[in-house]
């Protein structure tokens, strides 16, 4: 009987770990695996990394005509709003961030990186690094007129 209880606990432990959202601070990078979630400390954003939809990044050891891209699907849940699902990219050609309510979500990277001739990456093995911020006004000091005139000489 004790073996059965122990076995049941060990089998359900991973599900329990994934069910508890990781508490994250604004501006501090964090990693999530597929299906894992995060919650902003003192905020109202519940955020889930659904997984990698596609990984076309140029493998280590290969010569490629472009860098490739990994597509990470994320879902945000804010009280009183509908769930928002977006796809973020590792390539700067595409969107690496999205706005969810008053929060800006950035995809900073995806690991592991593919290797030429290596085994395919199991979708469950991916780890994505994110950072969540609240965007503020951009502090731009206007150029003095003399500096602007100098640009056109």
Q: What is the CATH number of the domain that holds 83?
A: 2.60.98
Q: Is residue 107 part of a domain?
A: yes
Q: Which residues pair with 54 in a beta bridge?
A: 71
Total domain count, the chain? 1
Identify the pLDDT of residue 104: 95
Asked if residue 80 is part of any domain, the answer here is yes
Q: In the prediction, which pLDDT does 136 show? A: 76
Domain for residue 145, yes or no?
no
Predicted confidence at residue 40, as pLDDT, reads: 95
For residue 31, is it within any domain? yes
Report the candidate in 52, 24, 31 with the shortest Cα–Cα distance to residue 134. 24
pLDDT 10s digits, 76-116: 999 888 899 999 999 999 999 999 999 999 999 999 999 99
Confidence of residue 140 (pLDDT cuts 50, 70, 90): low
Q: Are 107 and 14 in contact (CB under 8 A)?
A: no
Whole-number pLDDT of residue 135: 87
The answer, as to whether pTM is greater than 0.85, is no
- Two tokens, residue 86: 């977006």
Task: Decide if 65 is inside a domain.
Answer: yes
Domain membership of residue 153 (yes or no) is: no
Order of strands, sheet of 30-32, starting from the edge strand that comes earlier in the sequence: 30-32, 127-133, 103-111, 97-100
Q: What is the per-residue pLDDT across 44-81, written as a single tens digit (0 to 9) for each?
A: 999 999 999 999 999 999 999 999 999 999 999 998 88
Please report the pLDDT score of residue 80 as a whole number: 87
- Domain assignment present for 2: no
Residue 85 within any structural domain of the chain: yes
Domain that holds residue 83: 20-138
Write the CA distances from 63 to 24, 60, 113, 146, integer angstroms.
38, 8, 15, 48
The answer to whether 117 and 109 have CB atoms below 8 angstroms apart is no
């Amino acid at each position: 009987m004790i073996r059965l209880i122990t076995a049941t606990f060990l089998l359900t432990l991973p599900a329990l770990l994934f069910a508890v959202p990781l508490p994250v601070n604004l501006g501090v990078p964090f990693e999530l695996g597929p299906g894992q979630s995060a919650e902003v400390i003192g905020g109202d954003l519940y955020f889930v990394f659904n997984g990698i939809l596609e990984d076309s990044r140029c493998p280590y050891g290969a010569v490629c005509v472009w860098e490739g891209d990994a597509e990470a699907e994320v879902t945000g849940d804010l009280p009183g709003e509908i769930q928002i699902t977006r796809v973020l990219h590792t390539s700067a050609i595409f969107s690496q961030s999205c706005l969810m309510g008053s929060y800006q979500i950035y995809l900073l990277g995806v690991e592991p990186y593919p290797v030429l001739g290596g085994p395919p990456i199991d979708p469950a093995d991916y780890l994505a690094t994110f950072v969540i911020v609240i965007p503020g006004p951009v502090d731009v000091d206007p150029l003095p007129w003399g500096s602007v005139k100098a640009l056109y000489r």
